[in-house]
Structure 1
Amino acid sequence: QIASASNPRTSTSIPRGLGCADHSPRKKLILHMDLNNTILVSDTVTGQGTVAALDYFLTTVTWGKMSKHVTPPGKAWEGREFAIVFRTFGTDLPRVLKAMSRVVNEGAHPLFPDLPELKVRQLRVDMTPGKIRCTKRGVVLSRAEERVSTRDGERGLYQYLSSVQGLGGFQDHFDWWATNTFSIRGGKPLWIDPFDQNVQHVFIDDNIRQNDEDTIVCPKVFLEPGGHNTRAAGTAELYDISLVQTDLLRAISDRSYFTQRVHICLENYERNLWNGTA
């Protein structure tokens, strides 16, 4: 077991199988990121605008003194290949991808105006939104002419998501989540291969909770190297390892918030590799 980063006095179970991968500090990082209350404050599913969404969020949290100090981001991903996959139930993905393209290519973000000068290959934006649809028969991922289904094995979807480049996004299946009473069973699917020596996936979403009857991501962990069979994993098992619940107030006030949380996941993942048992 390891201490949870969000609460050092509690512990998180080691995911079975995490002791079998290597200890490379430069695995490719795939960041799956929600939109609403994670990187923007609005919700197209509920029809909430920025003011209404922020007001709703503030009614659900208790908070005290806040610092106005903003910490500049460090060179967090220097030397590491990464990709960002936006995952949303809403219809705002095309608008977000368009905005991100302006940020990357035109320096339109006021806090990061120098991005175009960096010419970072990993920041290229795929403007074509994809879809992920779930049924009792399985999961289908599609984007433009690309289509991958679990009917051909879950390994194919994992390989597809592990191979993505730059920034892109998929609309997940809200109706499936609702049909499954907003529980882990109908959540946004995330495949994790603890034996993969080259890739690590991290999902960041404000609705990730350590209550599997009220959470938004459905993790599936492969059972053997290169295998096709997976097992369902609980949120607590992967919390602060592959799953992060967004703290919106900190995300707004601290520019290095996401960097810090991802580093916690990277460190906890490596600690599990060293201390875990198959």
Structure 2
Amino acid sequence: MSDAVDRNCGINETNDEDERELRSGAPGSGHPTGNSVRPKKLILHIDLNNTILVSDAVTKQGTVAALDYFLSTVTWGHMSKGKWEWISEAPSLSPPNKDAVSYYSKFGRVAGFTTAGPGRKFRGVLEEHLAQLRWPADLPADEEFSVRGEDGNLYHWILPSFFQLLQDLASQGREFAILFRTFGTDLPRVLAVVRRALTQGDHPLFPDLPALKLSVSDLPGRIRCSAKGTVLTRGQEKLSSRDGDRAIYQYLSAVEGLGGFQDHFDWWARNTYSILGGKPLWVDPFDASVQHIFIDDNIRQTDEDTIVHPKVFLEPEGSQTRTASTSELYDLCLVQNDLLQAISDSGYFTKRIQSCQENYESNLQQGTS
């Protein structure tokens, strides 16, 4: 499913001289250097299922089944003499060696992975994180913020670490916007629940969210891809990459508050679940004011099996882009979500975004030196 992470691979590293100049910032591009750099506006593209939700309406997986499935994607082994042998002693996003494959990539979805299947050795990990995900017993059930699991227990529907991210970014004085990006059908409900938390202050763990004064557009948009290009629609708004990618990038860079788009699953499937059919992400390394970051559990270092299609602009203010490899932008603009950490660490998303910001600036500054 995934190659080993190379965290030193960034947007200023390439064997092509033109691309190296591109990613370092060309003369006259307005790219700032030194300590006077103003913090960029953050546009955070955030997946839903197995990123901030531990459930999936499309596959009808509840909390327990969704977490059980996720464990099958981050535990590793290989076939030996016709039998599956484990290499992993603990879950990890990256394989422990080059010969390891995830259980999911070998066998697909297996119901009861940690109960009836060979994943029983990871049952304790499942139970530990279910306990951390449980809705506090001293709080009344809420039909929107909490959800009843298959085991009868009550769990958080949207991870607390997501709401913590909003608080952290606001407390840091950061300018940011959130765009939910999903293939699934949960988007309208997520937007409605987030709106309630941000406007009414009804989330019992985050009652001060209305003070952030973040707007929520509960009108879901759509992104549809084809061989002719990409079309983005939301309400009466419509943009097409047939007129160049720049207009879509500028539109997404200018969004405020929180909103979302349903991406094009069929296009991903027709492209064999590879990078070329993934959710498009436009990246402009010449832009001194904006950084786009995509967080998704299905981002993989293997471009033949990843869910985001990064499109990097070739020149300042230009409309032409190239497809960047996942490894090139990993931990700069692409974050492979670790669902276990997102459950157990309330500051997980904040830390990952901070790391991306630092890595992004470091790579650009290396290119200008």
Q: Decide: shared fold, TM above 0.5.
A: yes
Counterpart of 1:12? 9
What is aligned with 2:287? 196
Cα distance, 1:10–1:257 mapped onto 2, change above 3 Å: closer
The residue number in structure 1 matching 2:55 is: 42
Aligned AA (1:11): N
1:144 CA displacement: 0.3
Amino acid at match of 1:47: K
Distance in 2 separating the partners of 1:270 and 1:52: 39
Of the candidates 305, 310, 323, which is equivalent to residue 214 of structure 1? 305
Render the CA deviation track for 1:177-231: whole Å, top value 9, x for unaligned.
0000000010000000000111110000000010000000000000111011111
Aligned-pair RMSD on alpha carbons? 2.3
Matched, 1:22 2:32: yes
- Structure 2 residue 123 is the aligned partner of structure 1 residue 113: no
Q: Tell me if 1:241 matches 2:251.
A: no
CA–CA distance in structure 2, aligned partners of residues 249 and 54 of structure 1: 9
Report the residue type matching 1:110 in the other structure. P
Match of 1:267 among 332, 336, 358: 358
Alignment gaps of 5+ in structure 1: 1-5
Q: Tell whether the 8 Å contact from 2:41 to 2:289 is kept in structure 1 after alignment.
A: yes
Quote how far apart the aligned CAs of 1:10 are. 5.2
Shift of 1:40: 0.4
Check whether the contact 2:7–2:330 (CA below 8 A) recurs between aligned residues.
Answer: no
Please tell me whether the aligned partners of residues 7 and 331 of structure 2 are also in contact (alpha carbons under 8 angstroms): no
1:127 matches 2:221 = no
Pairing 1:178–2:188 present:
no
Residue in structure 2 matched with residue 3 of structure 1 by the alignment: none
Number of aligned positions between the proteins? 268
Higher deviation after alignment, 137-146 or 22-31: 22-31
Contact 2:10 2:330 in 1 (8 A): no
Q: How far apart, CA to CA, are the structure 2 residues paired with 1:102 and 1:131?
A: 23
Q: 1:251 touches 1:257 (CA, 8 Å); kept in 2? A: yes
Normalising by structure 1, what TM-score?
0.90
**Separation (CA, whole Å) in 2 of partners of 1:207 and 1:223:** 26
SS of the residue 1:267 aligns to = helix
Matched position secondary structure for 1:132? strand
Whether contact under 8 Å (2:43, 2:179) holds in the other structure is yes
On the 8 A contact 2:42/2:290 being kept in 1, the answer is yes
Q: CA deviation at 1:25?
A: 3.8
Which structure has more helix as a fraction of its residues? 2
User: SS state of the match for residue 11, structure 1?
Assistant: coil
Q: Distance in 2 between matches of 1:251 and 1:54?
A: 12
Which residue matches 1:139? 230
In structure 1, distance between residues paired with 2:266 and 2:295? 21
Q: Is the 8 A contact 2:168 2:350 kept in 1?
A: no
Residue pair 1:45, 1:89 contacting (<8 A) in 2 also: no
Mapped to 2, the partners of 1:232 and 1:60 lie a distance apart of 26
Structure 2: which 5+ runs fail to align? 13-19, 26-30, 75-89, 92-123, 133-159
Partner residue, 2:248:
157
Give the aligned residue type for 2:233: S
SS at match of 2:305: coil
Q: Deviations over 1:59-105 (max 9, x none)?
A: 3333488797x998784442221000000000110000000011101
Moved over 6 A (4+): 64-68, 70-74
Identity of aligned residues (%): 63
Check conservation: 1:88, 1:170, Cα contact below 8 A: yes
Q: Which secondary structure does the structure 2 equivalent of 1:276 belong to?
A: helix
